[in-house]
Each structure stands twice: as structure tokens, then as C-alpha cells.
């Protein structure tokens, strides 16, 4: 019998959960035997985004959906940077999955596991951005991932913020809105750059704006000059994060790129890869499965250890 484990990927905008493993049949309706292989997507349980009460509500719904009998839980969480933040999330998970072994790690850690690697560097660009790595000696390094107020350059929020800045630049220069700005105003129902700016300040949550990043990057693939400039700036920042980690740990390590901006936008990913400029370009790869499967593997390791 394989123990039932739960992997969680808690991002800035959603939570991805996968239950894996065989369990003994349950006599109760909806028991553990009916819950094997469950995969669900929920709202974000990120403490910094939704607070303690919001995270608690999301985890409660996940626990009800995946059922009992869970023996180990690993949660890879964006923003799980400090022992204090990891302890709070661990306490919540312990409450909802009593008796299970619990581990909370930064979400970059589950990306490496999802790639099937014990050593390597990870570059993630989703709502925010971060690079992290671990070498064969177990030494770790990190760059970025400080949140939208202090960093996250090259992430989705940053890309859209740069597009809003472009709208304001054109407005105050007395220029007609370009293709990018017109598309952004249409997407936000803004009549001009000033209304767009008001909307940006009225609802500053990063995930609200990051969803518009694909609009910018798709226009870059079509050759829009403003979008290309923004994409180039994002690629520069992301490559800088990766190079810093690789420089500390060893340039011979593989680099795994993950997050919606890099996985779904090949032009951006290619630009980042060229700027990282490793001697062996084949050592750079795009994550081919969702990071939550790395959390499942780490949960299994909790059982094995």
C-alpha cells in the first residue's frame, strides 16, 4: 500500500493541489478510497495575499475535497521566505490535515523537484519573479522574490506596470496612444492614460494586473515596438536573477525555467536563455510538468525519511 500524500503549490493567484497514493478503502461516503488521484485548483492560500483567514478558508475547502487519510503534506508557497511565515502556514496545514507530516518550502524548491533534479538553478516568472538554486554540496543561493513593493522585476505585474508607464509617457508627450496602450486601455475599459493610472492605484493587487501580461508579450511577438522594449527589459531582469544564482553555485548546473510567463511565452524564454549565456545552452530547460508534482515528490520523501 502506497501512503496517501498531498502536494500543494500556493501561488500569488491560485492554489494547485494534488493527492497521490493508494489508501485503504473507506466505509464512509466520500472517504479516502474515493479521493485517490484528486487534482484541484482553488483560490490562493498565500498568506501575504489573502491573510490568515483567507488562507484558512481555502485550505479548509481543499481538505474537504481531497479527503482524509493523508500521511504527508508538502506545500511550496510563494513568499514562504521566513521561518515565521512557514510556521504559520505549517500550523494551518496541521489543523486541516491532523496527523500528517508537514513541510512548507519556497515554491522554487518544488520546481527543482518537479524537474527531477536534486541540484540545479530555478528561475520562476509568474505574477512575480525569483531565482533559487542548490548545488551538489547542498549549498543554496537565491536572488529576487521580494514581492511587488520591493522587486519582482520581470514578473507579470512588473510587465503590466511598465505598460501603464508607457501609456503615461505617451500621454504627457502629447502622442497618440500606440498599439500597446490602446490594447491595454481596451482591456481595462479606460478612456485615457489618466483613468488607467487611477485604476492602477485603486486596485493595486498584483494578481489583478499580472493577468494582462500575456497581452503585452503577445504584442511583442507581433513586433510592437513598445511591447518589445518591455519584453527586453523583463528578459534582462530575469536573466540577471538567474546569473546571480548560477554565479554563486556553479555555472555547470542546469537551469530550469518555470512560471506562466516563461512556460507560455517562448520568445521571452528564448531571450532570457540567450542573456544567461551558459556555455552549454542545452542545460537550460523549460519545466514540462506543473510544479505541484514536485511538492508531491517532496511529500513522498517525507514518508521515506
Domain of residue 219, residue span: 119-286
Q: Are residues 87 and 132 in the same domain?
A: no
For residues 30 and 163, membership in a common domain is answered with: no
- Name the pTM for this structure: 0.84
| 37 and 98 assigned to the same domain | yes
Question: H/E element holding 51?
Answer: helix 47-66
Residues 41 and 64 in one domain: yes
Same domain? 143 vs 275: yes
CA distance 287 to 304: 25
Give the CATH number for residue 156.
3.30.420.40
List, for residues 230-254, the tens digit of each pLDDT value.
Answer: 999 999 999 999 999 999 998 889 9
User: Within this chain, do residues 14 and 136 fall inside the same structural domain, yes or no?
Assistant: no
pLDDT in tens, 136-150: 999 999 999 888 888
Q: Does residue 256 contact residue 222 with C-beta atoms inside 8 Å?
A: no
Instruction: Compute the distance between CA of residue 132 and CA of residue 105 in angstroms, rounded to an integer.
Output: 12
Q: Show the cell assigned to 92.
A: 494551518
Beta bridge partners of 258: 124
Starting at the edge strand found earlier in the chain, the sheet holding 39-43 runs 39-43, 14-20, 4-10, 70-77, 101-106
Judged against a pLDDT cut of 50, whether residue 130 lies above it is answered with: yes
Quick one: 90 and 132 in the same domain?
no
d(CA 128, CA 148): 7
**pLDDT band at residue 123 using 50, 70 and 90 as cut-offs:** very high
Q: Are residues 96 and 149 in the same domain?
A: no
Q: In Å, how far from its chain's centre is CA 168?
A: 29
Confidence of residue 36 (pLDDT cuts 50, 70, 90): low
Split at pLDDT 50, 70, 90, the class of 76 is: very high
- Structural domains in the chain (count): 2
Q: Sort strands 140-144 and 129-134 into parallel, antiparallel or unpaired.
A: antiparallel
Do 61 and 205 have their domain in common? no
Rounded Cα–Cα distance for residues 251 and 123 (Å) = 14
Amino acid at each position: 500500500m502506497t501512503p496517501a500524500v498531498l502536494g500543494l503549490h500556493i501561488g500569488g493567484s491560485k492554489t494547485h493541489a494534488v493527492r497521490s497514493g493508494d489508501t485503504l478503502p473507506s466505509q464512509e461516503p466520500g472517504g479516502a478510497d474515493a479521493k485517490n488521484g484528486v487534482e484541484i485548483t482553488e483560490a490562493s492560500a498565500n498568506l501575504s495575499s489573502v491573510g490568515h483567514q483567507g488562507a484558512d478558508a481555502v485550505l479548509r475547502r481543499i481538505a474537504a475535497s481531497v479527503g482524509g487519510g493523508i500521511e504527508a503534506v508538502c506545500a511550496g508557497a510563494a513568499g514562504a521566505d521566513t521561518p515565521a511565515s512557514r510556521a504559520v502556514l505549517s500550523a494551518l496545514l496541521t489543523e486541516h490535515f491532523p496527523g500528517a507530516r508537514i513541510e512548507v518550502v519556497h515554491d522554487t524548491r518544488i520546481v527543482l523537484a518537479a524537474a527531477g533534479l536534486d541540484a540545479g538553478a530555478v528561475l520562476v516568472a509568474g505574477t512575480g519573479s525569483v531565482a533559487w538554486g542548490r548545488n551538489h554540496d547542498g549549498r543554496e543561493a537565491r536572488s529576487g522574490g521580494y514581492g511587488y513593493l520591493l522587486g519582482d522585476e520581470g514578473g507579470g505585474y512588473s510587465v503590466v506596470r511598465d505598460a501603464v508607464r508607457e501609456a503615461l509617457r505617451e500621454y504627457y508627450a502629447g502622442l497618440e496612444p500606440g498599439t500597446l496602450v490602446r490594447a491595454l486601455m481596451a482591456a481595462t475599459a479606460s478612456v485615457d492614460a489618466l483613468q488607467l493610472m487611477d485604476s492602477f492605484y485603486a486596485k493595486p493587487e498584483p494578481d489583478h494586473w499580472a493577468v494582462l501580461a500575456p497581452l503585452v508579450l503577445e504584442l511583442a511577438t507581433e513586433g510592437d515596438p513598445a511591447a518589445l522594449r518591455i519584453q527586453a527589459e523583463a528578459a534582462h531582469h530575469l536573466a540577471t536573477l538567474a546569473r546571480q544564482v548560477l554565479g554563486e553555485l556553479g555555472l555547470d548546473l542546469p537551469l530550469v525555467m518555470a512560471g506562466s510567463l516563461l512556460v507560455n511565452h517562448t520568445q521571452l524564454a528564448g531571450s532570457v536563455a540567450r542573456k544567461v549565456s551558459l556555455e552549454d545552452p542545452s542545460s537550460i530547460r523549460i519545466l514540462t510538468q506543473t510544479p505541484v508534482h514536485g511538492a508531491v515528490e517532496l511529500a513522498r520523501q517525507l514518508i521515506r525519511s
